Amino acid sequence: MNNTKIDWATMSWNPVTGCLHNCSYCYARRIAQRFTPATSDNWDDCTQPGGGLHEIRTKGSNGGPWKYGFAPTLHSYRLGEPAQVKKPQTIFVGSMCDLFGEWVPDEWIEAVFTTCLSATKHRYLFLTKNPERYLNLYYKDKLPEQANFWYGATITKQDDYESVWRKLADLPQTYNTFFSIEPMHGEINIGFMPPWIIIGAETGNRKDKCIPRREWVESIVLACTEEVVFMKESLRPVWGDNLIQEFPWGDNHVIP
């Protein structure tokens, strides 16, 4: 586990890495490519469950944590890490993957949930571009309903919203849910509103990088009546210095 620069969490934890969405703006893929070894010949401590999936069982194995690049990989040696952190944290689970991608076996997700349920002092934030997987797990009675679990969906533009909003809305209201609108790539007319909305701009120097307009952000803020908004630092050039940074669990503050 690591301390994180992500504004809305205190730590990140990556028991699974890698993703097959292939988003053009993905920061995680860029990081993985930086650290992937040019060659990797030692497979003794790893298994391949199939379908291009990998497992690394031992910390410090040859090739390191990026032995398989950005291919989906279970780091089973990391599963005990939350229990080793004594001070309560807000943990972003899977900052370097999509834990709920269609390619991720249920068994991997269940192993992550089991770890979270054994270290209840922390708050766990999950985020996916595939919230239908939340519903699938719910119908299988495999989606924990816990006050310290938050299930989020990533949207970047109107088409994303139209394709994912009902997946969150169909979960019982007893589950904590949120939207992460990052990177914001267009105006989004939101109907269904989960309790928490995160908004952020694209970072990095991608050639086709999209800078959001202030009015796009304003439309989301004005639509939030009972919901709370968290603006990431990346929005400061767009919004100004008085960023709204609210948390639905009560640690609300506005950056002066």
CA distance 117 to 109: 12
| Across 47-51, 79-83, 158-162, 184-188, least confident range | 47-51
Q: Which SS3 state, helix, strand or coil, does residue 12 take?
A: strand
Pick from 25, 31, 23: nearest CA to 205 = 25
pLDDT in tens, 48-92: 444 478 889 888 777 778 788 888 899 999 999 999 999 999 999
Judge residue 242's burial from the number of C-beta atoms within 10 Å of its C-beta, 0-12 exposed, 13-18 middle, 19 or more buried.
exposed
Distance CA 195, CA 247 (A): 10
What predicted TM-score, i.e. pTM, was given to this entire model?
0.88
d(Cα 130, Cα 212) in Å, to the nearest integer? 23
Mean pLDDT check: name the lowest of 75-89, 145-159, 192-206. Answer: 192-206
Nearest to 238 by CA among 221, 216, 253: 216
Residue closest to 18 by CA, chosen among 69, 72, 66: 72
Burial environment of residue 230 by CB neighbours within 10 A (0 to 12, 13 to 18, 19 or more)? buried
Q: Give the pLDDT score at 93.
A: 96
Q: What angle do CA 22, 5, 9 make, to 5 degrees?
A: 90
Asked whether residue 120 carries a pLDDT value surpassing 50, the answer given is yes
pLDDT band at 210 (very low <50, low <70, confident <90, very high): confident
Domain ranges of the chain: 1-130, 133-142+153-256
Beta bridge partners of 124: 91, 149
Q: What is the pLDDT of residue 50?
A: 43
